[in-house]
């Protein structure tokens, strides 16, 4: 396998006494799409912003092609941002309402390719608008003249203008109508395939993650609880929380459909430093789950789970 482009090791984010991310470690390879799933408040968007240093990290490393972004000076980091771009959740809020679309798309070119002529910039902008399913003449319009789906296409176009090597998509379809979501997902899949851009795709929609991702990370209360290739995760997930997520998918053909695997109330936002983060909702809880944080351990090659009782979950004893 090729060396990974992005290597994250023990990334930790704190907001005062609250720990939002607990020692997150994973990597993203060239041309790979890694899905990140978890319910609201699990730390998905915090992770996306911490990777790009839009939020400060309390510890760990974010290594991009051999360089630790967290230890990098401002000027060096600014140059690396060409390779690392993000698409935000709210397409309307992510665009400057005072700028025409063409000016918005010109900004990254002016920053990263200042020697480019005005004519060459206009050509690149027109080509990118058409690449994302819009017409070149839309460059003269303002964001309020577009629908939410069109604004998200503009956001994707802006992110792709500097030809990044990694695109972070933070819930890019969650605020869109269901009829539009599939179009945006297919657009991202086409761009990833045609341009070879690596992608970290963040979502709570398992169907979308399954469609796009090669590998999936499952996060809960700021901790990674399972990491697996797409096929392995959906065929035989090992963590009770992952199984609960799969059970919530309205698909009657799914192996776990209709099973109520969680107990207790919704998770609180209070920090937890001991025990499994899922123990108060898990039907398999034992005393060890309350007192000891489970490490990520191998279920199979490329399949990791943080659960003291994953063997009983995956291989239940016959009654």
Name all contacts of 294-301 with Cβ < 8 Å and 24+ positions apart.
Answer: 296/25, 296/224, 296/227, 299/228, 299/238, 300/232
Report the sign of the C-alpha dihedral through residues 150, 154, 159, 163, in that order: positive
CB atoms inside a 10 Å sphere around CB 114: 7
> 121 with 162: CB under 8 angstroms?
no
> 246 with 256: CB under 8 angstroms?
yes
φ/ψ of residue 278, rounded to 5: -105, 5
Per domain, the residue ranges of the chain are 236-319
Q: In the numeric block, which tokens belong to residue 42?
A: 């699990």
Q: Pairing mode, if any, of strands 59-64 and 67-68? A: antiparallel
CB atoms inside a 10 Å sphere around CB 150: 19
Per residue of the chain (319 residues), give pLDDT as tens.
578 999 999 999 999 999 999 999 999 999 999 999 998 889 999 999 999 999 999 999 999 999 999 999 999 999 999 999 999 988 888 899 999 999 999 999 999 999 999 999 999 999 999 999 999 999 999 999 999 999 999 999 999 999 999 999 999 988 888 889 999 999 999 998 899 999 999 998 888 999 999 999 999 999 999 999 999 999 999 999 999 999 877 653 443 333 334 444 444 444 456 789 999 999 999 999 999 999 999 999 999 999 999 998 888 874 5
- Residue the block writes with tokens 């969680």: 262
Measured torsion, CA atoms of residues 294, 298, 302, 304, in degrees rounded to the nearest 10: -20
CA-wise closest residue to 201 among 32, 13, 17, 6: 32
Q: In the numeric block, which tokens belong to residue 15?
A: 């907001």
Which residues touch 213 (CB under 8 Å, ≥6 apart)? 33, 34, 35, 201, 230
Counting DSSP H helices and E strands in the chain, the numbers are 11, 12
For the chain, give the number of residues.
319
> 209 with 192: CB under 8 angstroms?
no
Which residues touch 131 (CB under 8 Å, ≥6 apart)? 157, 160, 191
- Structure confidence by residue, pLDDT tens digits, 220-249: 999 999 999 999 999 999 999 999 999 877
> 303 with 227: CB under 8 angstroms?
yes
Name all contacts of 65-72 with Cβ < 8 Å and 24+ positions apart.
Answer: 65/5
Distance CA 160, CA 130 (A): 13
């Amino acid at each position: 396998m090729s060396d990974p482009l992005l290597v994250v090791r023990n990334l930790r984010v704190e907001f005062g006494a609250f720990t939002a991310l607990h020692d997150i470690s994973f990597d993203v390879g060239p041309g790979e799409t890694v899905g990140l799933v978890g319910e609201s408040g699990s730390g998905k968007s915090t992770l996306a912003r911490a990777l790009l240093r839009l939020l400060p990290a309390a510890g760990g490393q974010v290594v991009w092609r051999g360089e630790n972004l967290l230890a990098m000076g401002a000027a060096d980091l600014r140059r690396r941002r060409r390779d690392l771009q993000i698409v935000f959740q709210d397409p309307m809020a992510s665009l400057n309402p005072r700028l025409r679309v063409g000016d918005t798309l010109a900004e990254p070119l002016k920053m990263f390719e200042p020697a480019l002529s005005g004519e060459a910039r206009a050509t690149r902008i027109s080509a990118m608008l058409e690449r994302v399913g819009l017409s070149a003449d839309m460059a003269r319009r303002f964001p309020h003249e577009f629908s939410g789906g069109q604004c998200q296409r503009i956001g994707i176009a802006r992110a792709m203008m500097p030809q990044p090597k990694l695109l972070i998509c933070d819930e890019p379809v969650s605020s869109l109508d269901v009829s539009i979501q599939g179009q945006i997902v297919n657009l991202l899949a086409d761009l990833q395939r045609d341009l070879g851009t690596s992608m970290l795709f963040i979502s709570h929609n398992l169907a979308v993650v399954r469609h796009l991702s090669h590998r999936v990370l499952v996060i809960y209360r700021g901790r990674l609880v399972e990491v697996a290739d797409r096929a392995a995760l959906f065929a035989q997930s090992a963590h009770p929380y992952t199984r609960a997520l799969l059970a919530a998918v309205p698909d009657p053909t799914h192996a776990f459909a209709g099973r109520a695997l969680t107990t207790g109330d919704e998770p609180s936002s209070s920090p937890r430093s001991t025990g499994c983060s899922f123990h108060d909702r898990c039907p398999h809880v034992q005393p060890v789950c309350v007192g000891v944080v489970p490490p990520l351990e191998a279920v199979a090659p490329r399949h990791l789970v943080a659960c003291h009782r994953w063997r009983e979950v995956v291989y239940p004893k016959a009654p």
